[in-house]
Structure 1
Amino acid sequence: MSYFIELVVSGLAIGAIYGLVAMGFAVIYKATGIVNFAQGEMGMLTAYASWSIAVTLGTGAVLTVLVAVVVGALLGLICERLIMRPMLGESVLSVVLVTVGLSVMLRSLVTLIWGASPHKFAVAGADTIVHLGGIGMRVSQIAVIAVLLLALAGFWVFLSRSRFGVAMRAVAADEKTARLMGVSTARVQAVAWAAASGLAGLAGAFFAVIYGLAPTIFELGLKAFPATVLGGFDAILGSGVSGLVIGVLENLVGGYLPSTLKEIAGFVLILVVLMVRPFGLFGEKRIERV
């Protein structure tokens, strides 16, 4: 029984990282209607930049997290302003292909600047073991779960209570009508890219601290994608919760079944769920009249 609990607890930690990336996917999709396939690479680049700043300035745990958010948000704003905004009005396929090109560019940039060798992202106190009910967890694992919960609460308040959150929901529902009502769609999209990249930056930094810093961090985008599909592309909070589900499922499959099945567990789950709920567990059902 203790082995099962250990698998669930460690699955929640990696699932929280998936959830942060998945929320980023959903934020951009909700504001722009496109899927950003460079989400994992943004988290990777932010993790490396945060590591360089932490090594240079000797930042502590809290400051390192803040640096990851700020660097990630700035990266998102730069990509939106220089690459994505000129694509406004183009077909969805063209924009998605641009994000694919952006992912390749960011991956190559990281290898060019920092090399392909792995590094240790050491943060004071991150590896300290805390025993909860007989189960040992690192402080960094507890922290990333707490950060995901804070992000879920923050986005719930933002989307339901803030004026800008209502504007984002309006753009997602009907962009043309929202523009006619005076909503700046360009500003909404810029904020969406900044928020999504900030979430990816958090995920990348936490992953680097817990599991090590390497160029393969970009695979977080691929691992978190099933969580977005499972929760629903238009469900930001649902995507975050689904990340926890995917993380726990992967750990249980890897612990009790052949390890090769761990990599496909999330995709098998979304295939099963989509046959029943094509719009995801938390997504809004859309009815189109023809």
Structure 2
Amino acid sequence: MGYLSELVISGLVIGAIYGLIAMAFSVIYKATGLVNFAQGEVGMLIAYLSWSFSTTFGTGALGVVAMAVVGGIAVGLLIERIVMRPMLGEPVFSAVLVTIGLAVVLRSFVILVWGASPQKLDVGAADAVLRFGGIGMRSSQLGVVAVLLLCVLGVWLFFQRSRFGIAMRAVAADEKTARLMGVSTAQVQAVAWAASSVFAGLAGVFFAVIYNLSPELFALGLKAFPATVLGGLDAVIGSGISGLVIGVAENLVGGYVSSTLKEVAGFLLILVVLMVRPFGLFGEREIERV
């Protein structure tokens, strides 16, 4: 039972990181209809920026998280304004290729500036062990799960209660009609890119705190993508929850079946689910009249 508990807890931790990146994928897709293949690289860049900020000013946990949020907003807005806005009106395939090019540029930029050697992002009491009954968790592990749940709650309140959230849903449902109703699609997309980068940045920072910081962090984008597909590309909240499912499934497969199958467990899971629900567990079925 102890071994099972360890697998589930560590699965929830990595699953929370997957969930944050999956939400980043989903919020971009919901607002623009694009899959941003530079999502892992964005998280990596913000993690390195937070590490530099921490080593320079010696900030604690709250300072690093705040830097991830502020850095995420800045990086997201810059990418949207400089890279993606000129692609408005262009074919989706061309815009997706731009995100692939952006991924390569960001990866090379990080290696050029910070080097390829692994680093450790030390944050206060991140390694302090908290015990609940017979189960122990590091404070950083508990923190990333709590941050994911707070992000899920915040996204739900944003889409359901705020006028801008409702406007974003309108753009996702029918962009042309939303424009006719006075909704600024440029503002919606800017907010989506900023929010997406914040989610990715938080994931990158927590991964760097719990594990380590290196240019290999970009691979989190690929590892988290199954969670986005499983939850539904247009389901931001569902993608976050699906990240937990993918993380636990990977750990259980690695612990009880084969460590070699751990890396593909998420992809196997989405194959099974998509055969039953092609739009994901929480995605909306698209109905076209002909």
User: In the aligned structure 1, how far is the partner of 2:134 from the partner of 2:215?
Assistant: 35
SS at match of 2:281: coil
User: In the aligned structure 2, how far is the partner of 1:172 from the partner of 1:2?
Assistant: 45
Structure 1 segments (4+ residues) deviating >2 Å: none
Q: In the alignment, what sits opposite 1:30? A: 30
1:175 aligns with 2:185: no
Cα offset, 1:113, TM superposition: 0.3
SS at match of 1:191: helix
Deviations 1:150-184 (A, max 9, x none): 00000000000000000000000000000010000
Q: In the alignment, what sits opposite 2:237? A: 237
Q: In the alignment, what sits opposite 2:212? A: 212
Deviations 1:253-276 (A, max 9, x none): 111122110000000000000000
User: In the aligned structure 2, how far is the partner of 1:264 from the partner of 1:110?
Assistant: 27
Partner amino acid for 1:152? Answer: V
1:105 aligns with 2:102: no
Cα offset, 1:288, TM superposition: 1.1
Q: In the alignment, what sits opposite 2:141? A: 141
Cα offset, 1:211, TM superposition: 0.4
Q: In the alignment, what sits opposite 2:122? A: 122
Q: Which moved more, 1:57-66 or 1:129-138?
A: 129-138
Deviations 1:96-123 (A, max 9, x none): 0000000000000000000000011100
User: In the aligned structure 2, how far is the partner of 1:87 from the partner of 1:272?
Assistant: 35
Q: In the alignment, what sits opposite 1:9? A: 9
Question: What TM-score do you get using the length of structure 2 for normalisation?
Answer: 0.99
Task: Write out aligned runs for 1:230-269 (5 A).
Answer: 230-269=230-269
Cα offset, 1:74, TM superposition: 0.6
Deviations 1:106-151 (A, max 9, x none): 0000000000000111001001111122121110000000000000
Partner amino acid for 1:81? Answer: R
SS at match of 1:279: coil
Cα offset, 1:287, TM superposition: 1.0
User: In the aligned structure 2, how far is the partner of 1:156 from the partner of 1:239?
Assistant: 12
SS at match of 1:131: strand
1:226 aligns with 2:238: no
SS at match of 2:286: coil
Q: State percent identity of aligned pairs.
A: 72
User: In the aligned structure 1, how far is the partner of 2:65 from the partner of 2:133?
Assistant: 27
Partner amino acid for 2:207? Answer: F
User: In the aligned structure 2, how far is the partner of 1:88 from the partner of 1:48?
Assistant: 30
Deviations 1:4-34 (A, max 9, x none): 0110011101100000000010000000000
1:19 aligns with 2:9: no
Q: In the alignment, what sits opposite 1:189? A: 189
Q: In the alignment, what sits opposite 2:271? A: 271
User: In the aligned structure 1, how far is the partner of 2:258 from the partner of 2:214?
Assistant: 25
Q: In the alignment, what sits opposite 1:157? A: 157
Partner amino acid for 1:76? Answer: G
Q: In the alignment, what sits opposite 2:55? A: 55
Cα offset, 1:55, TM superposition: 0.4
Aligned pairs, number:
290
User: In the aligned structure 2, how far is the partner of 1:187 from the partner of 1:194?
Assistant: 11
Deviations 1:175-223 (A, max 9, x none): 0000010000000000000000010000000000000101111011001
User: In the aligned structure 2, how far is the partner of 1:286 from the partner of 1:87?
Assistant: 25
Q: Which moved more, 1:128-137 or 1:144-153?
A: 128-137
Partner amino acid for 1:54? Answer: S
Question: What TM-score do you get using the length of structure 1 for normalisation?
Answer: 0.99
Question: Mind listing any 5+ residue stretches in structure 1 that lack a counterpart?
Answer: none
